[in-house]
Structure 1
């Protein structure tokens, strides 16, 4: 098991953690051992260093789970650059926003994706580089970077506006890898099937925590639950991470007994598991340890529920992960008593450096830790309400903001509303997350049409299929002659949400 060393290292030194001959990566091209992973990381870093970029320049990647996509999070920081991964399912409008907001100097992608971009999508100062260009005969050695230096910007949706970039240092990424690898008890013999997007902190950490343990990861882009089941068998996976909608699909699918028995460890984040789902997972994968987890990109991860506590406390989100200090705080800043609701506040070295070029939103979320906290400095005030029980376990109460969480994705209702209104089919719109057994939440749009509602909806659905990724597509439209307003004349979101979720 990984020892809990609190001294961070540059994230690009991860390939040195594994035994050189042990398998680090399993993909369609075959096996890559740790020595080869180190060489590939150094070669990609050398290529980036030859691009004439200044230290701290942003390198964006818009790729499926190729070998290059797996090593760029280490190669870019090794070259003194900042990696900006873009979810491969995003469409051109979302990609354009991330490129512009991050001030990306390079976009590494594939020809088909590059061809989908239109004039103005790529900022004037950003050059495209195709995946097969990222080669070099030189190999850059591991860096000795200051671990407080920025290594990555991960984009995550907020409750209002477009996605914002969370700034992560070498130390944030390294300590997150050590923490997770430790409490999951990963061993060099483990093989992790990586089904989550590498643009998510949860998905990217699967690479880092696996390599920190000297184990191997098998990245997978999948279309159906059956693809996942086949991959578990093919790569002899011992570990699988998922989000609730994926578990729903996997539980509905047929599993050969011997394939299900391969899995020794299941981890969940991106939404709570219901007691019913926990029972079903425990029945289907009786030999596997189950790790429910809670986190937010701004602090990586806050809590996990140890497997031995899951059956007795299925409603709990657990205790703080290693290196994290998690607390329930009253509105006046004092510590909430056991059993009393309070805002979940996360302090310690996993706390990110704020939002990229967004001082206003940074000041709202990143504030000084309570004076009584063990860790001083900046803490993340999550906006989520939790209760810490007498048993020391935290339990989630509710989310104070208006975020929609669907299929493991955090979705800004404002971003959906802007997309709905941009084509003129509707003149007013409010996006709401409503409970859904498969998705966690489904997106419902309540709107006032500019033309006949049937015509408006047909046009909207056709346009949004082109402009928004699948997880942001509204599942239903409710058309109204007028939308309710509050005393300030603003659309009454609370009333609409109460109506839609009652």
Structure 2
């Protein structure tokens, strides 16, 4: 669409190179023909295992244009994790680089459905198509398609478009299946409440395997805005990119915002940044306050989402002071319900499970009917005369809704801590810890305890050296009841571990503390 109406408008930028919408459309079309020439069948999966670069975008959207399904693989994943994804959704074609293929070679034998690997940035020593790794044909990405006349497979908006793998709280990552309708509806909804416009320049810092990161592309393309691709090493690189490229929109997760809030922002960066967004966890109040002080001309959007429904709520910037701690209200074209265990609606202020219905609800988990049935269930409150029930996402998150429709997060079902008969939200403990001003990063979690059921354990990175466990607990005592005080504080000298999407890796922390209270070790 943009290639027809705004062909010369800037679409994609990477370092010093750029593509307008006409060039981008031609590159995507060429990628589609390349994949079809490799025998891509209708709705077959194409995995893309690369860092952020133009070819990554071409391959993802080229697979979709060809009538296939794209599977973005986080570039931080290791060989065994990548192999799980390739096996799990029966990937047929993999687009990657030579160095990444070298790391993957030992595990490709366990991926029997994979028949072709297309490599970027390498001159093959053999004739194209002659190289092999085990049973897999290896070819170059940057060659002319052998058959320009190949027709794209016909798909409609309810067909699969992508599979995104989420780390999940336990076990292997699961693939969330998105339709073309899901992706278009999500882009339209986000662009509406962020008021995106063609002159916007969005900085893509999050991985495209993360729905929040992929959204930077889809929202920009829907609006006719420009996306700037960034593979950053340090938080300061993000600020430099905002300044260099005149970025107007920036999306990040709480651990990155915590770091960015501690840095100085030059005037040139402050002058262009129209808005920032947060998802992937609650932004600490102190971090939000610091960002608003450093970026007084920038609107801050706090959002809540889950990969199974892409995005659910947003808090308009003008409500930040009126509704502190709120996760906002339903995004356009979505309905958010708060229900009891029997599916009946909760009263205002009554905690219940968040249920999301509408066009953004995904198609389920790939090849996993059991987990799909547990999360994707009939929407509550449907008219009894409708023969086929509408499916909604039952989030597992406990929230409460005020009389104006604004929601407040209480806790996640699989993260809520049950200690001494009380249910404790890790988020509430973490907010109190950040409020002390003594720590830069914090994560509260429940660890098995012989007497308490679970004990609250806190992992924290001090703001400055010399902080002791007693210092932190003494600072918390005036603000938390006894049952919410951590039974153990693990002070770190390095940042807390991250998962592939940049969020704090609570599973890894739980493993670190798993034996803390066993065999009679006292709290």
Deviations 1:402-460 (A, max 9, x none): 49999xxxx9x9xxxxxxxxxxxxxxxx9998464799xxxxxxxxxxxxxxxxxxxxx
CA displacement at 1:56 relative to structure 2: 1.4
Change (3 A) 1:378 1:88: same
Contact between 2:189 and 2:331, CA under 8 Å: does it hold in 1?
yes
Distance 1:105 1:277 in 2: 44
1:332 to partner: Cα distance: 1.1
Pair 1:264–1:437, CA change in 2 (3 A): farther
Shift, 1:159, TM fit: 2.5
Name the SS for the 1:298 alignment partner. coil
1:124 to 107, 112, 121: 112
Most deviating of 269-278 and 192-201? 269-278
Q: What per-residue deviation string (whole Å, max 9, x for no partner) do you get for residues 116-162 of structure 1?
A: 12423451231322125224364989886310000100001222211
Q: CA 1:314–1:436 in structure 2 vs 1: closer, same or farther (change >3 Å)?
A: farther
Alignment of 1:270-281 (within 5 A): 270-281=280-291
**2:518 alignment counterpart:** 483
CA contact (8 A) 1:42 1:142 kept: no
Matched, 1:134 2:141: yes
> What's 1:250 paired with?
260
2:394 alignment partner in structure 1: 381
Normalising by structure 2, report the TM-score.
0.75
In structure 1, the partner of 2:242 is 232
CA distance in 2, matches of 1:264, 1:482: 48
Which whole-Å deviations, capped at 9, do the CAs of 1:263-320 have from their partners, x for residues lacking one? 1110110011122222111111110111100000000100001111112213001111
Q: Deviations over 1:311-367 (max 9, x none)?
A: 221300111111111110111110111111110000111000000000000000000
Asked whether the equivalents of residues 60 and 108 of structure 1 are also in contact (C-alpha less than 8 Å), the reply is: yes
Q: 1:479 to 1:311 in 2, by over 3 A?
A: closer
Task: Select the residue among 37, 40, 43 that pairs with 1:50.
Answer: 37
Tell me, in whole angstroms, the C-alpha distance in 2 between the residues paired with 1:18 and 1:203. Answer: 26
CA 274–99 in structure 1, closer or farther in 2 if over 3 Å, else same: same
Match of 2:11 in 1: 24
Distance across 2 between alignment mates of 1:478 and 1:329: 34
The structure that has the greater radius of gyration is: 2
**Is it true that 1:314 corresponds to 2:321 in the alignment?**
no
Q: Determine which structure has greater relative contact order: mean sequence separation of CA pairs < 8 Å that are 6+ residues apart, divided by chain length.
A: 1
Q: How far, CA to CA, are the matches of 2:457 and 2:50 in structure 1? A: 29
The 1-side partners of 2:462 and 2:175 are apart by 28
Cα distance in 2 for residues equivalent to 1:286 and 1:386: 30
| 44, 51, 60: which one aligns with 1:73 | 60
CA distance in 1, matches of 2:214, 2:117: 23
* Separation in 2, partners of 1:100, 1:72: 20
TM-score (norm 1): 0.78
Describe the shift of the 1:31–1:141 C-alpha distance in structure 2 as closer, same or farther (beyond 3 A): farther
Distance, in Å, in 2 between the alignment partners of 1:65 and 1:431 is 41
- Quick check: 2:315–2:329 contact (8 Å CA) kept in 1? yes
Relative to structure 1, the CA distance from residue 265 to residue 438 in structure 2 (aligned partners, 3 Å threshold; closer, same or farther) is farther
Q: Is the 8 A contact 1:265 1:289 kept in 2?
A: yes
Give the structure 2 partner of residue 491 of structure 1.
none
2:408 to 395, 400, 405: 395
Q: Tell me the SS of whatever aligns to 2:411.
A: strand
User: Could you tell me whether the CA contact under 8 Å between 2:67 and 2:154 is conserved in 1?
Assistant: no
Say which SS state the counterpart of residue 373 (structure 2) adopts: helix
Residue of structure 1 aligned with 2:167, choices 141, 157, 163: 157
In the alignment, the residues of structure 2 paired with residue 69 and residue 431 of structure 1 have an alpha-carbon distance, to the nearest angstrom, of: 44
Cα distance, 1:373–1:186 mapped onto 2, change above 3 Å: farther
Does structure 1 conserve the Cα–Cα contact (< 8 Å) formed by 2:2 and 2:221?
yes
Change (3 A) 1:104 1:342: same
RMSD: 3.2
Alignment partner of 1:289 is 2:299: yes
Q: For residue 301 of structure 1, what is the aligned residue in structure 2?
A: 311
Query: Conserved in 2, the CA contact under 8 Å of 1:17 and 1:213?
Result: no
